[in-house]
């Protein structure tokens, strides 16, 4: 059954976006999951901050050395001398952040059949077999974008590196939802995502960009509002994927 679905979805896919129906689905999911997802995001930020703090102390050597970084000259020297370790640390932290935030898909999937979701649904999702696939995808994409950005920035083409990063994220937008929702393999989920995006690239780009804009409005409220608005990105991705899938 899954093989038949995948064959048609990959090769013969043609879909239309019912914006009213899609908007209704996004709003319905947001009402059920936003508060709990916001709490999960808050916990995720704490976990990632702890990881980053330990990593930074490991690079610096000791907490006492961290105090010396308040001096701009010392900070500049430290950044130059430890550019590679800091790049590795930032890459690891970014991977951890994206991995943990993916748990929101588990919460969304839960409220599709139940009145509410719990934090356990999120953690159960990321520590599942599908979660391991997603972690591999995140690591792969992050290594590609980080490596490309590093060398292009070194060559003086920083904007090109940024463009490649945005394009890669856009083309693989449905990869993680495909894994968490349908349990597809890494290769099939990436293939699905690229083909889906290429069907309606202009509409999807502006729709997704608008969703990102709305989600990051929370930064304006002393940065704390993003805890409640960030789930919108995952709700939109989930809703778009399931909306398209229903037409196949």
Per-residue pLDDT at 7: 47
Question: Which residues, including other chains, have CB under 8 Å from residue 125's CB and lie 6 or more apart?
Answer: 102, 103, 105, 106, 107, 109, 131, 180
Distance CA 168, CA 160 (A): 12
Per-residue pLDDT at 13: 55
Question: Which residues, including other chains, have CB under 8 Å from residue 45's CB and lie 6 or more apart?
Answer: 227
Structure tokens at 129: 């077999």
**Count of beta carbons in the 10 Å neighbourhood of residue 226:** 19
pLDDT in tens, 52-110: 988 988 888 776 666 666 677 777 777 777 778 888 899 999 999 999 999 999 999 99
Per-residue pLDDT at 57: 84
**Mean pLDDT across 233-243:** 94
Per-residue pLDDT at 8: 46
Q: C-alpha angle 146/149/151, rounded to 5°?
A: 105
Structure-token match 């890669």, residue found: 168
**% the chain with pLDDT above 90:** 53
User: In total, how many domains does the chain have?
Assistant: 1
Residue 173, φ and ψ in degrees, nearest 5: -55, -40
pTM of the model: 0.85
Per-residue pLDDT at 224: 62
Assess whether pLDDT exceeds 60 at residue 5. Answer: no
Q: Where do the DSSP E strands lie in the chain?
A: none
Q: What is the domain extent for residue 35?
A: 2-245
Three-class DSSP category at 221: coil
More confident residue, 179 or 116: 179
Per-residue pLDDT at 222: 56
pLDDT in tens, 143-181: 999 888 888 887 888 788 888 899 999 999 999 999 999
**Mean pLDDT across 45-56:** 92
Q: C-alpha angle 58/42/193, rounded to 5°?
A: 90
- Yes or no: say if 145 and 165 are a contact pair by the CB < 8 Å rule: yes
Cα-to-chain-centroid distance, residue 152: 23
pLDDT in tens, 8-42: 444 445 678 888 899 999 999 999 998 899 999 99
Residue 61, φ and ψ in degrees, nearest 5: 120, -40
Distance CA 111, CA 107 (A): 6
Structure tokens at 61: 């050597």
């Amino acid at each position: 059954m899954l093989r038949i679905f995948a064959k048609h979805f990959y090769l013969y896919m043609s879909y239309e976006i019912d914006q009213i129906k899609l908007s209704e689905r996004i709003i319905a999911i947001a009402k059920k999951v936003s508060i709990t997802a916001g709490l999960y995001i808050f916990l995720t930020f704490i976990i990632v901050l702890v990881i980053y703090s330990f990593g930074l102390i490991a690079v610096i050597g000791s907490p006492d050395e961290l105090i010396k970084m308040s001096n701009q000259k010392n900070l500049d020297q430290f950044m130059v001398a430890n550019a590679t370790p800091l790049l590795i640390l930032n890459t690891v932290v970014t991977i951890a952040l994206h991995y943990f935030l993916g748990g929101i898909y588990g919460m969304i999937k839960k409220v599709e059949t139940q009145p509410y979701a719990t934090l356990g649904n999120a953690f159960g999702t990321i520590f599942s077999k599908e979660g391991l696939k997603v972690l591999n995808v995140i690591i792969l994409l992050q290594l590609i974008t980080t490596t490309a950005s590093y060398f292009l920035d070194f060559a003086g083409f920083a904007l090109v590196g940024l463009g490649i990063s945005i394009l890669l994220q856009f083309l693989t937008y449905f990869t993680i939802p495909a894994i968490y929702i349908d349990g597809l393999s890494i290769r099939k989920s990436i293939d699905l995502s690229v083909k889906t995006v290429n069907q309606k690239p202009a509409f999807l780009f502006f729709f997704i960009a608008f969703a990102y804009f709305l989600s990051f409005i929370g930064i304006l409220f002393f940065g704390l509002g993003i805890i409640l608005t960030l789930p919108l990105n995952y709700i939109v991705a989930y809703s778009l994927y399931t909306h398209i899938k229903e037409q196949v």
